[in-house]
Amino acid sequence: MVASHTKTKTAAEGKGRTAPVIEGTCPMPDIAQLIGGKWKLIILQILIFQGMKRFNELKRQITGITQTMLTNQLRALERDGLVHREVFPEVPPRVEYTATQRALELEEMFHAMHAWWVKGQATDTKGS
């Protein structure tokens, strides 16, 4: 599913700034499919910034996620090339999850979202 846009308008246009123009095909629906939802970004954040985790470590760190949901989200992220799953032939089996290079390329996006959040919090505090 890909949305097509010839031009987008933003709030910046009303403030004398140049608005971004997106020509051709917009990848946002595909991006949302890859990393959207309640849990995928949280899982990716942990694996990108903290490194390798085992299943139960992830489950303990993500408040409110069920075992089934974590399994499904990890499988989807693995299928989409964002998470690598390694199974070690031990008894009991040991499984480790790591962010792939493609996922590691999202680090800058996480930093940008963090800066956006901090800026919004500062703005909200001033407005109170």
CATH number at 69 reads 1.10.10.10
Residue 59, domain extent: 36-127
pTM, full prediction: 0.74
Q: Are 74 and 80 in contact (CB under 8 A)?
A: no
Residue 11 lies in a domain: no
Inter-axis angle of helices 40-50 and 107-127, to 10 degrees?
Answer: 110
Q: Are 99 and 82 in contact (CB under 8 A)?
A: yes
pLDDT digits (tens, 9 = 90+) for 3-17: 444 444 444 444 555
Residue 8 lies in a domain: no
Predicted local confidence at residue 114, as pLDDT: 92
Predicted local confidence at residue 68, as pLDDT: 97
Q: What is the DSSP string of 52-90?
A: -EEHHHHHHHSTT--HHHHHHHHHHHHHTTSEEEEEE--
Distance CA 49, CA 106 (A): 11
Across the beta sheet with 94-99, what order do the strands follow? 53-54, 94-99, 83-88
Residue 78 lies in a domain: yes
Q: Are 72 and 59 in contact (CB under 8 A)?
A: no
Residue 108 lies in a domain: yes
| Number of folded domains that form the chain | 1
More confidently predicted of 25 and 66: 66
Residue 24 lies in a domain: no
